[in-house]
Structure 1
Amino acid sequence: MSFFKELKVAYQAGDKEWYSGRASQLENQYWHQSILVSDLENLKISTTKGFGIVGYVCDAGVKKNQGRIGAQKGPKSIRAKIGRLPIHFENRKVTDFGDVICLDEDLEDCQKALSKTIHKLILNNILPIAIGGGHDIAYANFNGIKEALKNVSENKIGIINFDAHFDLRAVEIAPNSGTPFHQILSENTATSYFAIGIQQQANTKELFEIARKRKVSYVSNLECETFDEALKSKLNKFLKKIDYLYITIDLDGFSSAYAPGVSAPSALGFTPNFVYKALAFLLQSKKVISCDIAELNPDFDIDNRTADLAAKLVDYIVQKA
């Protein structure tokens, strides 16, 4: 595909066959009836706001981070669940723009390809919802946002990461799923980063020290029992100092009761109810420019529980954005 020339990746355009569900004689009852599909080559500038799903078929970063591989199968599992969901929103145009596919474990080229995709979607008035894939998706998504805003005067980007981990490891041999936010903050000193759900037992003392030096805001998993006024106040302060917000959700931040199918499951994570409330609050700001959901590993899922959660998060973002 010429759009990704000189990059070692494969690309597959969106396909209606990825979505299926209950038959209905009525229109617009289920996602599989209403989802649109396209490819990036034919994307045309639109004045109407839309949503764009794009798959990041890559777990090279998870492998390099010594995690449980299998996240490359995540986009397929999420779409299978999305198609079956009933629609409870109106005037929302959602298009699947296909998959960026990692080849020969070339993580950097796959990240560059996703960045180009995010950049193009944003410039065409589309809010990207990327589905992965490892959490190295974050470095790619951020760079696509940054490129899309390079000619905008007020372009301070804030990152909200729902996650058990900081993902602030410095790159030693090669980037991986544990390094994206260290890379972002090292290259973009004006960027603000807020992590929600950090678990002490999932991060070393060194990572907490890096977070302190990088002035990273965070709340621990113990502060995520309820979406209370204290957290709202912290998020309001964060939102006031940025122009655009990028939301990234690592599914391993959820309790393994809800998300067993991830690279690093934990019983101590937050609940879907907490994240729903937080998302509604953040999306009300109208500053959200891109989102992604990372780390679904279908090989370790139970009754497609994690895929179902990821699909419902996509649906909720479309409803509330």
Structure 2
Amino acid sequence: MDKTLHINYQPAQESNWTGRVSNPELDNQYWYQEIILSDLDDIGQEKIDFGLIGYACDEGVSRNLGRPGAQQGPTVLRERLSKIPIHFKQKKVADFGDLICKENDMEACQDALARTIEALISNSIFPIAIGGGHDIAYGHFKGIYNALNRNADKKIGIINFDAHFDLRPVEDKPNSGTPFNQILNEFDGVSYFAVGIQQQANTKELFDIAQKHYVPYALHDECESDEKAVEALKAKLQPFIDSNNYLYITVDLDGFSSAYAPGVSAPSPLGFDPAFFFKILSYLLSSSKVKSVDLAELNPSLDRDNQTATLAARIVDFVVENA
């Protein structure tokens, strides 16, 4: 591993993984007992199925005039995840630590994330990245793209669960609202589907940009958990799935209703619920095309009773069990 990755890097910390003491005569019962603590230098040293990597960066949210605090998201998510009972079998999960944004250098943190994601995928490890702001998506996608670059026929589809398009043009510096505009303009063979879009959270300009780039989307009122709505969205997603070789799923937690996810920079009561989300996530994972997942905008300083952090941890657990 390139040593320059360590400029803004902290290896996995045992202090993030604690939990209830269980009968030592039993097999491992909880995540904290099962997790492998690792270092980026160790990628490829042993067979790992899933790799957690933190993107501890608030700079994109601050540039976007949002409320900072998501830099602590990776740490708190691990604390909640460590206490969840495990039900997956014969899967090895490693925590590779955190990439930490220093001196407001978001671009350096994104570059380090891209190289990390590329290394994980190149070693047949399924990355689960934990933000941080949604600027995580630019670095994450760049890493996926570079890892799959050897495949001439690659077509990568991004599915974003989010209240916002995050398609803003870059005016001064990139931020948490610009990643998918950057991706669509900089990379070939990529398409983008947004799930959970709220009209009142996106300007007309953003809808026009989505139309220009042929971005399909589902409005929040299409994202209901009843069977009819779920089946309708599956039918809308299927052509997108079929037209791509690989899928990257990114989850901005502000897409959920604030009843379930209050701990985000831009909460809204009009978001979707977990029942809907897990049904669609299960459907996407069943395609066997998903190469990587991330979660963005977990802000522990704004959370209530760790509700958002617990939801985020449940998502990570679900991905490991079902991918």
Same fold (TM over 0.5): yes
1:138-217, aligned counterparts within 5 Å?
Answer: 138-217=137-216
**Partners of 1:186 and 1:9 in 2: CA distance:** 29
CA contact (8 A) 1:283 1:320 kept: yes
Tell me what 1:104 maps to: 103
- Write the letter of the residue equivalent to 2:182: Q
**Partners of 1:44 and 1:219 in 2: CA distance:** 39
Structure 1 residue corresponding to 2:9, chosen from 5, 8, 11: 11
Structure 1: tracts of 5 or more residues without a match = none
**Partners of 2:3 and 2:207 in 1: CA distance:** 38
CA contact (8 A) 2:230 2:280 kept: no
CA contact (8 A) 1:8 1:109 kept: no
Tell me what 1:35 maps to: 35
**Partners of 2:81 and 2:141 in 1: CA distance:** 25
Structure 2 residue corresponding to 1:305, chosen from 288, 304, 307: 307
SS state at 2:2 partner: helix
Structure 1 residue corresponding to 2:284, chosen from 282, 285, 288: 282
Tell me what 1:270 maps to: 272
**Partners of 1:278 and 1:45 in 2: CA distance:** 34
The Cα of 1:39 is off from its aligned counterpart by 0.4
**Partners of 2:68 and 2:252 in 1: CA distance:** 15
The Cα of 1:88 is off from its aligned counterpart by 1.0
CA contact (8 A) 2:154 2:189 kept: no
**Partners of 1:264 and 1:19 in 2: CA distance:** 29
**Partners of 1:138 and 1:297 in 2: CA distance:** 17
The Cα of 1:45 is off from its aligned counterpart by 5.8
1:38-187, aligned counterparts within 5 Å?
Answer: 38-44=38-44, 48=47, 50-187=49-186
**Partners of 1:192 and 1:86 in 2: CA distance:** 36
The Cα of 1:10 is off from its aligned counterpart by 1.6
Q: CA 1:49–1:287 in 2, change beyond 3 Å: closer, same or farther?
A: farther
Measured against aligned partners, the alpha-carbon deviations of 1:55-84 in whole angstroms (never above 9, x if no partner) come to 000010000000000110100110000000
- Range 53-62 or range 222-231, more displaced: 222-231
- Write the letter of the residue equivalent to 2:260: Y
| Off by >3 Å, runs of 4+ in structure 1 | none
Measured against aligned partners, the alpha-carbon deviations of 1:123-181 in whole angstroms (never above 9, x if no partner) come to 11100000010000000000000000111122110000000000000000000000000
Q: CA 1:9–1:203 in 2, change beyond 3 Å: closer, same or farther?
A: farther
Structure 2 residue corresponding to 1:232, chosen from 231, 234, 244: 234
Structure 2: tracts of 5 or more residues without a match = none
Q: Report the number of matched residues.
A: 318
CA contact (8 A) 1:129 1:291 kept: yes
**Partners of 2:2 and 2:99 in 1: CA distance:** 11
CA contact (8 A) 1:27 1:33 kept: no
CA contact (8 A) 1:200 1:220 kept: yes
CA contact (8 A) 2:73 2:297 kept: yes
**Partners of 2:7 and 2:158 in 1: CA distance:** 27
CA contact (8 A) 2:48 2:94 kept: no
- Write the letter of the residue equivalent to 1:314: V
SS state at 2:251 partner: strand
**Partners of 2:139 and 2:10 in 1: CA distance:** 18
The Cα of 1:190 is off from its aligned counterpart by 2.4
- Write the letter of the residue equivalent to 2:206: L
The Cα of 1:9 is off from its aligned counterpart by 4.1
- Write the letter of the residue equivalent to 1:162: F
The Cα of 1:42 is off from its aligned counterpart by 1.9
The Cα of 1:8 is off from its aligned counterpart by 8.9
CA contact (8 A) 2:230 2:279 kept: no
Tell me what 1:218 maps to: 217
CA contact (8 A) 2:52 2:96 kept: yes
